[in-house]
Structure 1
């Protein structure tokens, strides 16, 4: 199977175009007539059969027959176990997660909770974990409430049984009641921890699912989305989304529901033991506590939204400076980056301080409400004891039950604040999930193997969003096994054509076809499997050289990777490195030279053995002794 090559070069004048023809790299080269003119009107340079150089200004159409057949076969061995497992899962489409439920129309608590529950419903262990968690919940609350009752019984026995204190059995009974009343708290806490262990995996699983859904959705969105979004911002949204789901599960399953159940049980017991007045005071205190918490936390949430925006900008700025470290150092602008980072951090600090002030106000108000409520309950009960309406044991019971309810209420403010923050964070997630790709996928599968492709452009027009028109009626054609060179000044649309071929964009007008099919009707994954690109600006993964080459064809063997490196004239350079192919290239490949990075990209493309090979100034960082054989091999 011979690969077909589309080589895009920047040639600024006719003498360079003539040089490309005379050296035999291509029998034809083209020069755009002016910046942004597209390929409809350009200077054409060709060598005829007699060897003379001809010049003519005319329409671009080039065919160059490539020679040789590709010696790449099917590769399936030599991969380490973990990578092979990943590749196998990806090839079986298990890695493509089914789409999540449609995001809610707004970020209200009820709709978000319903959305998360729908995600959790897909977990097969949900039902038994939920059942066990409910049993543990009621067991924990009953144990917690049982403690004050046992203590009350002990106090009543001590108060009313002074004549029985001489009895050894009676002493054992009272001591047992006191010990059990103390143990109930430990039992309640233990059951709570078991409940957390049983149900927490559901929250973490949903958080993982959210993260996978979001990353998958972002990777399948159009290039225009990624150009408008900062990587730092997307990273923060991805991290917050997973954390927020876990917070919501904890808030609802481990705080709000248990507290509500406990409040109902305590009020019912207080009403039965000491009267409805005491139960009413507890309810009023609880309502005041909740109203205060909701009001202040709502105001804090607005501050958090503002702080989130600054945090995203801070994160994006830090990532941008680190990724462009060499540029920063080359221009000696470290101080500028630090000053800009500091200014953003100061804005973030001010926004966070507003939230902290509100948090302090929230905590102070909550403590005051709890103190007033407890004091009122104890006074009313104390008066009843003084009047002989209830015994001293009832006062102890009321105190124990009030403290039982007050304990989770002390954390309610923090939990509710986290809940509001989580809702804010998830709103950013839902905004992204609601974005749909503007480029619809096709339905036609390209032939997986074959001798090149038939590529044809007919009257292509294109302009970027809010930008000048780039392509003006471009037309060209290439049959299988032929190579064409697209040549022109910067901004003339050479890289744009590459993006159109890969369907990163669709043309504004005109058609682009491959193997006789309109490219818009071809499945994007099928199209991209048939094409390999050696980009103008090579960006590598922060992994080994071996992994970066293998990325072109994940099912390839070690021998195939080595062969591709040899063909890209990279093998000898790799062997000189201390760790050879296991050398980690650093972030974006910064540990390698420009030429080495470019040869890794070339080797990766060779390994893929595509039906169409696109080289976008692929040899700009190579010396002439390496460039010529690499280009000759590319043509075959």
Structure 2
């Protein structure tokens, strides 16, 4: 029969928090479950109310069936039952129970039961407008505090009241129970970051995906990546970020990183010594210390303040030195990310680039590279130092002053961080609504001013002014909510800081009156706490900025994760071009899994011959050009050049032998010379000019004031259509390919310009294998072979005269174009200039 003793063991009291170099077990095991249960009940009740009002039950088919989730439940259940195992051991093995043990078991079991209820709630229900898919703040905080409490027992390492000595069976059993709790709370904390019991995508997205086809849409990012919690899969995101913290291959920058880390550690030490020296100054003044001692202490204090800077090191010498050195690491990181991503984007397929908005891609690149630097700075030099200062403060006050001071700091800091994160998450919706209202107001103003004439035509100025006024009012309502919620956040933080400072100051003042502490200790506590809270004032800002940076970084890494659609096979060889013989054998192709663009296409182009492709729009003419250039891989069949399958050779070697003159020639915003030199980057000025002469544009270039140094403008807009085409032809001549592809190279030009360009193209294509996609049939009458495509099939093939004699599709197209040309010529002939009659 177990004997029931008092509430605490021996002659100890719950008021004795720190005895014999450690926490009093009675005090510790009463406080910890009480704090956990209070947090779970109070904040859990708010979460339950939120789900009761805005939540909905998920359909069973969308609820994840995860073994890791079952592991979460099992670990929680094990932790809830563990104290009763301790009671059983105390009662049966040692024959003695104390009141705090019974209370601890009850409160501990209730707190973990509450946590399991919240876990089940998040597993089966979802908020109607939930944009995150990670666990809620309450559970994450609960698991973090439970794990932190187990770590807090490590400060009692030297206390004989705890189990660390392993001197008898009881201590070994208690150590086993602690080890079980430590492992279980750690695993729950890690699993909580992964959230295995929650869907990987928001619930509404899962429902909508069954009702719409997402295969054909190609947004820059998936909806899941836009709506997934910022903190979900935190470990993976951190793993993506860490390589950029350590500059590989650059030993100088690696040394700078280590030196910056050392400076950050030095800042933490300085933050401890500044209040201590301030305390010493006060004590020496009150005790009448000698002048030289006081002067040395004051000089040391001022020197430390110089190193620390005002407040908490934000403008001190050490901080400024670290910031100055870190710039080089940031620049290296920025350069590495941008260059790698730029190279990766150039390696993606044409299909990917056609399906994306270039501006959106560039914004993701710009924001992503900036976000990596921001995240590194926020996490490494703001968040980690702040948390380190808190931990150091708790350990310092617990070991030097009393456990009560460490407890006050721990509770206040935990409450401060929890409320900051909770309120920041809550007020995000107001910020989002304000941004939406701001965009609406600006859109209305811009739309109205752009349509100024229409507003005047219909005399509705007052209507437009009233609409703009309504938009401004709605924006200001949202702006007030943002300001009010920010004021609530600031006041809540101020209240927590004030209560913590009040509690600590009262305890400190009490110990001073009892002669257990000195007046300087009171000053030290106040100085240290204010110094500790100063960076915490920015914690909400850091939290929000880290959220935004994580989203931007994810967007950029989504680009990195895009797979290259066209890849060189393993051990691909270079294309060895001998004559330029092109073969298409039973080629099939479709852009998406659906309708085939090309079906069973077979033809052969002998070396030096010209093949023309004609047919209505959408028949697959340009697709053949893109397949030969290997912008895409065929779905079936084979394409060969000189007997070599182009899918088995390196893309670079294939494209080095092919020259393309497209319909829409796009020039870089550079000089004419550099645009021509793009055909062969290392070409000399003389070779560039020879290529321009061959394209019949040399004289025209010399007529410009700056000659070959003339800037062509954005996309070559300063040049005419014919001039741009001649620059493109010169570029192709300079490249010197054996195979020429002309994709409707003259269809956008007028008849006279087209005639001159055709003469230049004829010289380029001499003795080269050429494939021409033609719109005007008059430009390909001399082709060695003409293929007529319709709906992805070759419906006719032969020379110009042969196809006319057949009287088929080609003949009909020819007659139609000839009739149109005759009408155009007649209209041009009938036009006469207007003049005045002579009297």
Per the TM alignment, residue 624 of structure 1 is displaced from its structure 2 partner at its CA by 4.6
Could you tell me which of 468, 474, 477 is aligned with 2:601? 474
Partner of 2:180: none
SS in 2 for 1:473: strand
Distance 1:153 1:432, change over 3 A: same
Q: Is the 8 A contact 1:301 1:421 kept in 2?
A: no
Residue 111 (structure 1) aligned with residue 233 (structure 2):
no
Q: Compared with structure 1, are the counterparts of its residues 588 and 363 closer, same or farther at alpha carbon in structure 2 (3 Å cutoff)?
A: farther
1:70-81 equivalences under 5 Å are none
User: Secondary structure at the residue paired with 1:282?
Assistant: helix
Q: Relative contact order, CA 8 A, sep 6+: which one is greater?
A: 1
Q: How many residues align?
A: 502
Q: CA deviation at 1:584?
A: 1.9
Structure 1 residue 482 displacement after superposition: 1.7
Q: Is the Cα–Cα contact under 8 Å of residues 207 and 241 in structure 1 kept in the other structure?
A: no
Map of 1:614 onto structure 2: 741
> Is 1:568–2:695 an aligned residue pair?
yes
1:124 aligns with 2:250: yes
1:146-545 equivalences in 2 (<5 Å): 146-161=273-288, 170-188=290-308, 189-298=316-425, 361-442=488-569, 443-447=571-575, 450-451=578-579, 453-465=580-592, 468-545=595-672
Distance change >3 Å, CA 486–CA 205, structure 1 → 2: same
* 1:136 CA drift (Å): 1.7
Q: Deviations over 1:538-573 (max 9, x none)?
A: 111122222211111101111111111122222222
State the distance in 2 between where 1:123 and 1:579 align: 45
Partner Cα separation in structure 2 for residue 305 and residue 525 of structure 1 = 47
Q: 2:761 aligns with which of 626, 631, 636?
A: 631
Query: Residues 361 and 280 of structure 1: is their aligned pair in 2 closer, same or farther, counting only changes over 3 Å?
Result: same
User: Whose radius of gyration is greater, 1 or 2?
Assistant: 2
Indicate the SS of the match to 2:637: strand
Please report the TM-score for the alignment, with normalisation by the length of structure 2: 0.55
Instruction: Tell me the distance in 2 between the aligned counterparts of 1:507 and 1:303.
Output: 51
- Provide the rounded CA distance (Å) in 1 between the counterparts of 2:476 and 2:616: 48
The CA RMSD over aligned residues, in Å, is 3.8
- How far the C-alpha of 1:612 sits from its partner, in A, is 0.9
CA offsets per residue over residues 143-163 of structure 1, 9 Å max, x none? 2322221121111121122xx
- Change beyond 3 A, Cα 1:361–1:593: farther
Q: Is the 8 A contact 2:437 2:478 kept in 1?
A: no
Unaligned runs of 5+ in 2: 1-224, 309-315, 444-449, 455-463, 767-839
| Secondary structure, aligned partner of 1:543 | coil
1:390-431 Cα deviation digits (max 9, x unpaired)? 222111111111122122222222222221211111222232
Q: Do the aligned residues in 1 keep the contact of 2:659 with 2:732 (CA within 8 Å)?
A: yes
TM-score, with normalisation over the residues of structure 1? 0.71
Deviation at 1:196, TM superposition (A): 2.8
Range that drifts further, 538-547 or 135-144:
135-144
CA shift for structure 1 position 282: 1.3
Task: Give the distance between the partners of 1:311 and 1:518, measured in 2 at CA.
Answer: 57
Query: Aligned partners of 1:309 and 1:555: how far apart in 2?
Result: 51
- Partner residue in 1 for 2:49: none
CA contact (8 A) 1:106 1:427 kept: no
For 2:574 and 2:496, locate their aligned partners in 1 and report how far apart those are by CA, in whole Å. 70
Superposed displacement of residue 597, structure 1: 1.5
Query: Could you give the per-residue CA deviations for residues 30-51 of structure 1, whole angstroms, max 9, x where no partner exists?
Result: xxxxxxxxxxxxxxxxxxxxxx
Q: Write out aligned runs for 1:91-102 (5 A).
A: none
Q: Which runs of 5+ in 1 are unaligned?
A: 1-102, 165-169, 318-327, 333-338
Deviation of the 1:288 alpha carbon: 1.3
Q: CA deviation at 1:108?
A: 3.0
Q: CA deviation at 1:525?
A: 1.4
**Against the structure 1 CA distance between its residues 496 and 418, is the aligned structure 2 distance closer, same or farther, given a 3 Å change threshold?**
same
Is residue 577–residue 641 contact of structure 2 (8 Å, CA) maintained in 1? no
